[in-house]
Amino acid sequence: MSSSRLPGLANLLLRLFLGGLFLWSGVVKLADPKAFAAVISRYDLVPEPLLPVVAIGLPLLEVLAGLATALNRRGGLEGIVAMLLLFIAVLWFGILHNLDIDCGCFSSAELGEQDGLREAFIRDWFLLALAFYLLYVRYRHSRPRTQPHPKETNMKKLAAILFLAVALGASATAPAQAAWGKKEVETEKIAATFAREVARGGYGIVTTDELNGWVKENKAMLIIDTMPFADSYVKQHIPGATQFEFPIPEMTEIDEATQAKFLELLGPDLNRPLVFYCGFTKCTRSHNGALWAVKLGYTNVYRCPGGIKAWDEAGFPVAKGEK
């Protein structure tokens, strides 16, 4: 099927854009499959043994679908539609579960470039609409054929064989990839990162169960939710918590306006117990909050690492709304 069957320069450019986008996305992920596997693991949707397969197989499918779309081969747009539907479902899962993580859409470090997962969710719907439009244009202008062209059939078989070969190869070599996909290694990394953050911050730790006990005791303390207001706090937060958003990257400095608002929230009592939490253990927003409370002279500062995710999973009551 030649490119001349897509009417007009506009349709040609749209097809090249969509195909090139998926080609680029796949190449970027294939360049660093371990980082992409780490992103996938944070969704907790793929079993550990399958992480290497998905981390290589999915980008490979993106490359193949992108190339097929750019070259106007059958199966390319259909593959892109299937992947976009998968991506939309996964992103919706992340949004519903209030995951404050990298979308992993075009690189292993997108989180700082977008507001959570919502931007990627909207973007994928736009791309899906574009893919459906191009399918409509192609089928409208294509002549019916009773049988697929032999070369086209061979291309599909070759793509399937290539994907299976790479997937099997990834599975076979996974044990040698520096414990890639091993749960214990990931747990160790989380623990080490958390311990180093606590050491740098100079604050204390309170577990989810302990914090629940403090809440039941009506302990005189201030609980600070460091997650985004509209995307997280309004949806669910620990009862009695107030909101003050902190960024994910570690803060080495704070501007005067933010510091003034933060001090106003914390109050003049430097011995008042302060508890900071965010989304989950890997989230570093609460680290920044506790870190700066200590730097500003507060002496009774705690971080609850499990955050709202652990609180909710423990079955403790959650509050919703602006207060």
Map out the domains of the chain as residue ranges: 3-180, 185-313
State the first-to-last Cα distance of the chain, in angstroms, to the nearest integer: 59
Torsion of CA 146, 151, 157, 161, to 10 degrees: -170
Question: What is the model's pLDDT at position 44?
Answer: 76
Provide the token pair at 107.
């690189």
Question: What is the model's pLDDT at position 292?
Answer: 97
pTM of the model: 0.53
Q: Which residue stretches of the chain have pLDDT < 70?
A: 1-8, 98-104, 106-116, 141-183, 323
Question: What is the model's pLDDT at position 171?
Answer: 44
Cα–Cα distance measured from residue 255 to residue 323, given in angstroms and rounded to the nearest whole number: 26
Secondary structure (3-state) at 127: helix
Pairs from 118-122 (Cβ < 8 Å, separation ≥ 24): 118/231, 120/87, 120/91, 121/88, 121/91, 121/92, 121/95
User: CATH homologous superfamily for 185-313?
Assistant: Rhodanese-like domain (3.40.250.10)
Cβ count within 10 A of residue 71: 15
Q: Identify the CA nearest to 59 among candidates 129, 157, 162.
A: 162
For 7-32, give the DSSP string.
-HHHHHHHHHHHHHHHHHHHHHHHHS
Question: What is the model's pLDDT at position 176?
Answer: 39
Cα–Cα distance measured from residue 110 to residue 249, given in angstroms and rounded to the nearest whole number: 13
